[in-house]
Amino acid sequence: SFIKDGRYLGEISKSRWESLLDNYFEKQLQNKQNDTISNPVNADSVILNCIYVNLFTAEDQLSDKKFDIEHLATKERMKRILKVFGDLKLPIACIANLCYLPQDINRGKKEKTIYEATQLTLPIDTIEDKYSFTTASDLEWITREYTASDRDLLTTNYMNFVNKRYREIKKRFLEIF
């Protein structure tokens, strides 16, 4: 049926890719968490692989260097912030909060963001350009001390962050395809 149908032999249009990505992102925004945060799923890995395929060099791929899929707004940090609000849940595991990071950088920074870590093995501009697609201002909101009255502020700050980063991920994905 695959061969007869020919469905998978044609190119996928840019508008179709956009629709598929937007639907996936919107679905992920509905998966809100606060204490137990899910790990990336296969679809996240496929999307990230497509984005990073042109960024990773042969040296990256053939070296002993290992990479982790990392939450830019880290899981532990977000859990701690969300405890202030009790039942507030946010889509922490969505694709817009994920990136590849070299394993040594990811594990060395622990719950800190890449901008708070002090022992990075690469310059921050290299990390921004090749891995995170962010700037320091994108994650400033996470360093704020939130109080119970800041529920809407945190939600707005986080959603602004993931929406901006999703637009960047989508742009990079569409450039490749």
pLDDT tens by residue, 159-176: 999 999 999 999 999 998
Structure tokens at 78: 């977000």
Q: How far apart are CA 81 and CA 76, in angstroms?
A: 9
Kindly list the distances between the CA atom of residue 50 and the CA atoms of 43, 80, 96, 126, 136, in Å, as whole numbers in the listed order: 11, 32, 14, 19, 25
Those residues with Cβ within 8 angstroms of residue 143's Cβ, 6 or more apart along the chain or in another chain: 113, 116
Q: How far apart are CA 40 and CA 124, in angstroms?
A: 24
Confidence of residue 79 (pLDDT cuts 50, 70, 90): very high
The model's pTM is 0.89
Structure tokens at 122: 């690469």
pLDDT in tens, 81-119: 999 998 999 999 999 999 999 999 999 998 899 999 988
